[in-house]
Amino acid sequence: MTQVLGKVVTFDEFVAKYPDNRGQRYELYDGVVVEMPQPTGDHEEIVVFLSTKITLEYSRLSLTYGIPKTVLVKPLENESAYSPDLLLLNLTNLVNEPLWKKASTVTKAASIPLVIEVVSTNWRDDYLKKYADYEEMGIPEYWIVDYGALGGREFIGKPKQPTILVCCLEEGEYRVSKFRGDNRIQSPTFPELDLTAEQIFSAGIVS
């Protein structure tokens, strides 16, 4: 479970104080600091797998992209800041980011071709709050990787089963496509990416 910490703070106060020297991961939700739970091994194996596959693909295409370790995504409309499980940066647009140099934070959709959240126990954040904020920011592609089928039935159906939601921005709103089993992921950012939902889910059960 996520843990809410202390009083309401501004974004500037947040980046000045967090993360602390414990190496804990924090996010800011409308001024409220939230301590994120330690991810499971399965969660991290999926993040590593996706990072590797996407890095290979943008390298093959000679794109000026990169996957950073600890960069925040901040909607300009509120006092929130997120640390996605996987954030793909358009490195050439960082010169246009006002918070980049001092706080390694991006605010512009042009800097973020793709963002991926791997669902944990705080699944409502990925399906509701982050979905709404990423859409409002105009981020063109957002994946929700629900390998544990934790999301609500309105999102992944009944009976629940592991699902990947690929949300693609069209006319200012996300169009959502769902992928399961041997469905090949359809990514506008990487249309030639040869990757199925099951391959991604299986990355979290490496023995």
The DSSP 8-state label assigned to residue 19 in this structure reads S
Tell me: the pLDDT tens digits for 137-186? Answer: 999 999 999 999 999 999 999 999 999 999 999 999 999 999 999 999 99
Task: Tell me the C-alpha distance between 202 and 179, whole Å.
Answer: 14
Tell me: the pLDDT tens digits for 18-37? Answer: 765 456 789 999 999 998 88
Task: Tell me the C-alpha distance between 158 and 153, whole Å.
Answer: 6
Give the predicted TM-score (pTM) of the model.
0.92
Q: For residue 74, what are the CA distances in angstroms to 12, 67, 122, 168, 188?
A: 11, 17, 19, 19, 23
According to the model, what pLDDT value does residue 24 have?
78
Tell me: the pLDDT tens digits for 67-110? Answer: 998 899 999 889 999 999 999 999 999 999 999 999 999 999 99
With a CB cutoff of 8 Å and minimum separation 6, the contacts of 10 are: 31, 79
